[in-house]
Amino acid sequence: MIAQNLDLEEFLRGISSVGYNNIMEVAETEATEAERLYYRFRQQDKGKQAITYANQLKNLIFLLRYQARPSGLSKDDYNYLFSLRNRIAALSFKGQSITRSPSKDLC
């Protein structure tokens, strides 16, 4: 696992050199490992932290993949994930936007 403390900030620091396409793959692997931790420690606090972290990663993956707000996500959580998305974009593209131009999509 990249984030031994089950923290998105630690995860973000750990993926700083990974390309945008690989970020999705790394995040999916990290979410799977966090879910495995949950099943191993579900009766303990670490299990609760693991499933929370896994869900945060899944919501981040959804936001990165579909550029849309995951359903059931609070406005504060969405704003936090959106700020992470922007930081990932800055890491991956050095300031370039990760959204496609609407005019190119319509052509």
pLDDT per position as a tens digit, 26-79: 999 999 999 999 999 988 999 999 999 999 999 999 999 999 999 999 999 999
Provide the 10 A C-beta neighbour count for residue 49. Answer: 17
pTM score: 0.82
State the angle between helix axes of 45-66 and 75-93 in degrees (0 to 180), rounded to the nearest 10.
60
Mean predicted confidence (pLDDT) in 73-99: 79
Q: How far is the C-alpha of 72 from the C-alpha of 2, rounded, in Å?
A: 27
CB neighbours of residue 88 within 10 Å: 21
* Reported confidence tier of residue 93, pLDDT bands at 50, 70, 90: low
Residue 33 to residues 51, 59, 95, 102, Cα–Cα distance (Å): 10, 16, 30, 36
At 11, which amino acid appears?
A: F
Q: How far apart are CA 90 and CA 100, in angstroms?
A: 15
The length of the chain is 107
